Amino acid sequence: MTDEISIAAEDGPRHDVELTIITGLSGAGKSHAMAAFEDAGFFCIDNLPPQMIPAAAELFSHQGSKVEKATVVSDVRGGKYFEEIERCLNELDGKDIRYRLLYLEASDEVLLRRFKETRRPHPLAPEGDILEGIRREREMLAGLKKRAQWVVDTSEMNVHELRASIVENIVPTGAMGMILTMVSFGYKYGTPLDADLLLDVRFLPNPNYVPELNPLTGLDAAVRDYVIGAQACKNFFDRLTPLMDYLLPMYIAEGKSSLTVGIGCTGGHHRSVAIAEWLARNYRDADYNVILRHRDIGKE
């Protein structure tokens, strides 16, 4: 990697791009925050060196670009390149490129516990001294914290609470104004306690009994095509979609800001995953803020 990093963009008229830059302390949850933006339809780039941010922003805003909403994560993993992030943000300001800065932090105790649990080294920890690495990082990022539009302390949040908070308070609200969470699960592990609606899809053809599909999941194209392409599934969607299209605006009218839909099959690997993916895509296209979780996909 050289000291001069750039992305070339052709000259031409610009279109407005919604750019969010995520930064903050290591271990504060930046990857989970980015996932919330990704679920909301943003084009996301992780660990982008600061020098590339202005050029990437110009590329996104070029008239030929199809990127309408973008999120980049830039932090101390960039090493010496990260030291120039404030200069790069000033460059964005000078070029009149609009952006929003989201800064994530957590207490020293929580960050220390998270690093010990994951056994990952802190990028600024000399000889494994995690607390010293956290201290150095706080000092390095003090200026960024001051210029951030949002500062989120994740000390008391789990992963799902962080993502829900990001979607509700920071990700621009869709036209429908509801956080719609799709959770795939396996009935053999119990139903999700937070589900408002439950959809049992165990009546659909089961890929588990097809040898070449058994080791795959509903994230794989072969399983997705097998499940979604079944006539029973098409008949299911013909009935489910009008019901959901009726219910969701009614819930919104009653003031409900979030709704969790559980989609269950036997093990939570195949049918429920494929259906949850289809529903998430369908309602993102309808401008809902959708969070997608596959609760049991990694279980035996």
Per-residue model confidence as pLDDT tens digits over 27-71 = 999 999 998 888 777 889 999 999 999 989 888 887 777 788 899
Of the candidates 168, 164, 102, 171, the residue with the CA atom closest to the CA atom of residue 293: 164
Q: What is the spatial order of strands in the sheet that 179-186 belongs to? A: 197-200, 258-265, 179-186, 289-294
The answer to whether 144 and 23 are in contact (CB under 8 A) is yes
pLDDT at 294 > cutoff 90: yes
The per-residue pLDDT for 177 is: 58
Over residues 200-227, mean pLDDT: 96
Question: Is residue 55 located within the same domain as residue 151?
Answer: yes
- Which of 8-12, 16-20, 160-164 is predicted with the least confidence, judged by mean pLDDT? 8-12
Q: Which helix (H) or strand (E) holds 69?
A: strand 69-73
Question: Residue 2's pLDDT is what?
Answer: 38
Among 169, 188, 223, give the residue marking a domain's end: 169
The residue out of 146, 169, 192 marking a domain boundary is: 169
Mean pLDDT of the 98-110 span: 93
Q: Which amino acid is at 20?
A: T
Q: Is 257 helix (H, G, I), strand (E, B) or coil?
A: coil
- 226-238: string of b/e by CB count within 10 Å (b at 16+)? bbbeeeebeebee
pLDDT digits (tens, 9 = 90+) for 127-185: 789 999 999 999 999 999 999 999 999 999 888 788 878 877 787 654 445 778 999 99
pLDDT value for 10: 46
What distance in Å separates the CA atoms of residue 258 and residue 168, rounded to the nearest whole number?
Answer: 9
Q: What is the pLDDT at residue 25?
A: 95
Last residue of a domain, one of 169, 196, 216: 169
pLDDT of residue 53: 92
Q: What pLDDT shows up at residue 14?
A: 59
Number of domains in the chain: 2
- CATH at residue 130: 3.40.50.300
- 140 and 189 inside one domain: no
Q: What is the DSSP string of 198-242?
A: EEE-TTS--GGGSTTTTTS-TTSHHHHHHHHTSHHHHHHHHHHHH
Question: Which structural domain range is residue 257 located in?
Answer: 179-294
The C-alpha angle 174, 149, 81, rounded to 5 degrees, equals 110
Same domain, 131 and 207: no
Query: Residue 7 falls within a domain, yes or no?
Result: no
Q: What's the mean per-residue pLDDT of the chain?
A: 87
* Residue 6: inside a domain: no
User: Which span out of 4-8, 80-84, 239-243 was modeled with the highest average pLDDT?
Assistant: 239-243
